[in-house]
Amino acid sequence: MDSNTATPAEGFVALAGARAAAEGKNLAEVVDAAMEVRDKVSVIVLLDTIRHVYRSGRVPKIASQVGSILNIRPIFTVSQTVHFAGAVRNRKHGIERILQMIREKVGQNSVHVAVMHAYAPDEGEKLKERVSAEFNCVELWLTEFSPIIGYACGTGAIGLAFYT
Protein backbone atom coordinates (compact mmCIF):
# COMPACT_ATOMS: atom_id res chain seq x y z
CA MET A 1 0.00 0.00 0.00
CA ASP A 2 1.10 3.57 -0.59
CA SER A 3 1.35 5.63 2.59
CA ASN A 4 0.55 8.80 0.62
CA THR A 5 2.92 10.68 2.90
CA ALA A 6 6.54 10.99 3.97
CA THR A 7 8.70 11.66 7.00
CA PRO A 8 7.64 10.26 10.39
CA ALA A 9 4.03 10.30 9.18
CA GLU A 10 5.02 7.32 7.07
CA GLY A 11 6.47 5.78 10.22
CA PHE A 12 3.13 6.15 12.00
CA VAL A 13 1.45 4.24 9.16
CA ALA A 14 4.04 1.45 9.38
CA LEU A 15 3.78 1.34 13.19
CA ALA A 16 0.01 0.94 13.01
CA GLY A 17 0.42 -2.07 10.74
CA ALA A 18 3.21 -3.52 12.89
CA ARG A 19 1.19 -3.08 16.08
CA ALA A 20 -1.80 -4.83 14.49
CA ALA A 21 0.45 -7.69 13.36
CA ALA A 22 1.93 -7.97 16.87
CA GLU A 23 -1.62 -8.33 18.20
CA GLY A 24 -2.06 -11.36 15.95
CA LYS A 25 -4.32 -9.71 13.37
CA ASN A 26 -4.52 -11.24 9.90
CA LEU A 27 -3.06 -9.51 6.83
CA ALA A 28 -6.30 -7.77 5.87
CA GLU A 29 -6.67 -6.38 9.40
CA VAL A 30 -3.02 -5.23 9.40
CA VAL A 31 -3.57 -3.38 6.13
CA ASP A 32 -6.81 -1.87 7.47
CA ALA A 33 -5.00 -0.61 10.59
CA ALA A 34 -2.27 0.98 8.48
CA MET A 35 -4.80 2.53 6.10
CA GLU A 36 -6.80 3.97 9.00
CA VAL A 37 -3.73 5.87 10.24
CA ARG A 38 -2.75 6.82 6.68
CA ASP A 39 -6.11 8.52 6.28
CA LYS A 40 -5.69 10.51 9.53
CA VAL A 41 -1.99 11.45 9.64
CA SER A 42 -0.87 14.99 8.80
CA VAL A 43 2.48 16.70 8.33
CA ILE A 44 3.31 20.38 8.78
CA VAL A 45 6.81 21.70 8.03
CA LEU A 46 8.27 25.13 8.71
CA LEU A 47 11.29 25.93 6.59
CA ASP A 48 14.01 28.30 7.73
CA THR A 49 14.39 29.61 4.18
CA ILE A 50 12.76 29.12 0.78
CA ARG A 51 16.16 28.75 -0.95
CA HIS A 52 16.33 24.97 -0.60
CA VAL A 53 12.85 24.39 -1.98
CA TYR A 54 13.89 26.18 -5.16
CA ARG A 55 16.89 23.85 -5.41
CA SER A 56 14.50 20.89 -5.36
CA GLY A 57 12.50 22.35 -8.27
CA ARG A 58 9.32 22.94 -6.27
CA VAL A 59 9.21 26.74 -6.59
CA PRO A 60 10.28 29.11 -9.38
CA LYS A 61 13.56 30.99 -9.11
CA ILE A 62 11.85 34.38 -8.78
CA ALA A 63 9.79 33.13 -5.80
CA SER A 64 12.99 31.93 -4.17
CA GLN A 65 14.75 35.24 -4.71
CA VAL A 66 11.84 37.34 -3.43
CA GLY A 67 11.34 35.00 -0.50
CA SER A 68 14.99 35.26 0.46
CA ILE A 69 15.01 39.06 0.21
CA LEU A 70 11.87 39.33 2.36
CA ASN A 71 13.12 36.67 4.80
CA ILE A 72 10.03 34.55 4.17
CA ARG A 73 9.74 31.20 5.95
CA PRO A 74 7.23 28.99 4.14
CA ILE A 75 4.96 26.46 5.82
CA PHE A 76 4.07 23.30 3.91
CA THR A 77 1.73 20.42 4.57
CA VAL A 78 2.08 16.93 3.14
CA SER A 79 -0.92 14.86 2.17
CA GLN A 80 -0.31 12.80 -0.98
CA THR A 81 1.57 15.84 -2.32
CA VAL A 82 3.27 18.89 -0.84
CA HIS A 83 0.97 21.91 -0.34
CA PHE A 84 1.90 25.50 0.46
CA ALA A 85 0.05 26.38 3.69
CA GLY A 86 1.35 29.88 4.39
CA ALA A 87 4.40 31.93 5.19
CA VAL A 88 5.75 33.84 8.15
CA ARG A 89 8.54 36.36 8.64
CA ASN A 90 10.28 34.75 11.62
CA ARG A 91 10.74 31.39 13.30
CA LYS A 92 8.80 32.31 16.46
CA HIS A 93 5.69 33.19 14.45
CA GLY A 94 6.17 30.06 12.35
CA ILE A 95 6.20 27.81 15.38
CA GLU A 96 3.11 29.54 16.77
CA ARG A 97 1.40 29.10 13.40
CA ILE A 98 2.12 25.37 13.08
CA LEU A 99 1.00 24.77 16.67
CA GLN A 100 -2.22 26.68 15.93
CA MET A 101 -2.76 24.56 12.81
CA ILE A 102 -2.51 21.43 14.94
CA ARG A 103 -4.86 22.83 17.60
CA GLU A 104 -7.43 23.51 14.89
CA LYS A 105 -7.12 19.98 13.56
CA VAL A 106 -7.02 17.94 16.80
CA GLY A 107 -8.97 20.08 19.27
CA GLN A 108 -8.93 18.47 22.72
CA ASN A 109 -8.40 14.94 21.39
CA SER A 110 -5.39 12.88 22.36
CA VAL A 111 -2.73 12.89 19.65
CA HIS A 112 0.27 10.93 18.39
CA VAL A 113 3.09 13.34 17.45
CA ALA A 114 6.55 13.16 15.93
CA VAL A 115 8.64 16.32 16.06
CA MET A 116 11.21 16.43 13.27
CA HIS A 117 14.13 18.68 12.50
CA ALA A 118 16.91 19.15 9.94
CA TYR A 119 20.18 19.59 11.82
CA ALA A 120 18.43 21.61 14.55
CA PRO A 121 18.27 19.27 17.57
CA ASP A 122 17.95 22.09 20.11
CA GLU A 123 15.01 23.60 18.21
CA GLY A 124 13.47 20.15 17.89
CA GLU A 125 13.77 19.55 21.62
CA LYS A 126 12.18 22.93 22.42
CA LEU A 127 9.28 22.18 20.09
CA LYS A 128 8.87 18.73 21.61
CA GLU A 129 8.62 20.31 25.07
CA ARG A 130 5.96 22.75 23.84
CA VAL A 131 3.97 19.97 22.22
CA SER A 132 4.19 17.90 25.40
CA ALA A 133 2.95 20.83 27.50
CA GLU A 134 0.15 21.91 25.16
CA PHE A 135 -1.31 18.65 23.85
CA ASN A 136 -2.53 15.36 25.29
CA CYS A 137 0.10 13.14 23.63
CA VAL A 138 -0.41 9.39 23.42
CA GLU A 139 3.13 9.16 22.08
CA LEU A 140 5.68 11.85 21.32
CA TRP A 141 8.82 11.30 19.26
CA LEU A 142 11.78 13.48 18.33
CA THR A 143 13.54 12.62 15.08
CA GLU A 144 15.66 14.05 12.31
CA PHE A 145 14.39 14.51 8.78
CA SER A 146 15.73 11.95 6.34
CA PRO A 147 18.72 13.13 4.26
CA ILE A 148 16.48 13.61 1.20
CA ILE A 149 13.91 15.69 3.07
CA GLY A 150 16.76 17.57 4.78
CA TYR A 151 18.21 18.40 1.37
CA ALA A 152 14.87 19.59 0.03
CA CYS A 153 13.91 21.57 3.13
CA GLY A 154 17.33 22.77 4.26
CA THR A 155 19.11 23.10 7.56
CA GLY A 156 16.91 24.49 10.30
CA ALA A 157 13.62 23.10 8.97
CA ILE A 158 11.32 21.85 11.69
CA GLY A 159 8.01 20.05 11.53
CA LEU A 160 5.37 17.86 13.05
CA ALA A 161 3.70 14.66 11.95
CA PHE A 162 0.54 13.86 13.92
CA TYR A 163 -2.82 12.12 14.08
CA THR A 164 -5.65 11.70 16.57
**Tens-place pLDDT, residues 132-151:** 999 999 999 999 987 777 66
d(CA 17, CA 139): 16
CA 3 vs. chain centroid, Å, equals 14
Architecture of domain 42-163: 2-Layer Sandwich (3.30)
18-35 burial code (b ≥16 CB/10 A, e <16): eebeeeeeeeeebbebbb
**Tens-place pLDDT, residues 48-107:** 866 666 555 556 555 555 555 567 788 888 877 777 788 888 889 999 999 999 999 999
Nearest to 164 by CA among 15, 4, 42, 23: 42
Phi and psi angles of residue 26, each rounded to the nearest 5 degrees, phi first = -80, 175
Whole-model pTM: value is 0.84
**In the chain, where the domains are located:** 42-163
Residue 113 near residue 141, CB atoms below 8 Å: yes
CA 29 vs. chain centroid, Å, equals 26
